[in-house]
Amino acid sequence: MVTKACMPLVLKEKGRFVNTASVLGRIAFLNSSYAISKYGVEAFSDVLRRELYRTGVKVQIIEPGAFTTSIWGTARRLAEQKAAGLNLPAEVRSQLPDDALAQLTRPFEMIEETGSTKLHLVVDAYCHAITAKFPKKRYQVGNDAKYFYWLLWNLPECISDFYIDWLGANSI
């Protein structure tokens, strides 16, 4: 709705749209809801860029890797509270692994433990996307995005699936 509302002005000025996705919009694991929303941003941005190709309007996607912010601790605590408050039938509970809660909260803990604190890298990517004469179509931000995740989405899926499972980065 925001894109549609801004479209006349952006077209008139041959401006830009800069959307924030995530590396998890390129390779999905950890949290399915989050990955789906980021895949949606990727798809929307790609289609928008192609629709506006001949207009002079540019569309960039910022794809940050893991950055440690206070949101992850809050999200982990909410997941713990939600899981603790679930009144699942005994039949469903019996099918869950003993460490179901740990598996649910592990992705948040991984990001808190391994995420970068260099938030200025994301800001720098935005600044470049907004002001550069020749901006990139995609900005993978953070070393994990540039190297680790890039490798995962370029490896054969059987290898990336094995590696993600080996890391214990699958959610239930």
pLDDT in tens, 43-96: 999 999 999 999 999 999 999 988 877 766 666 666 666 666 566 677 776 776
- Residue ranges in the chain assigned as alpha helix (H): 2-13, 32-51, 70-85, 90-95, 100-114, 120-131, 143, 150-154, 157-167
Q: pTM for the whole thing?
A: 0.74
CB 3 within 8 A of CB 48: yes
Annotated active-site residue 34? The verdict is yes
Q: Out of 34, 39, 126, 163, which one is annotated catalytic?
A: 34
pLDDT in tens, 125-143: 999 999 999 999 999 998 8
Domain 1-67+118-172 has CATH 3.40.50.1100: no
Specify the domain boundaries for CATH 3.40.50.720 within the chain.
Answer: 1-67+118-172
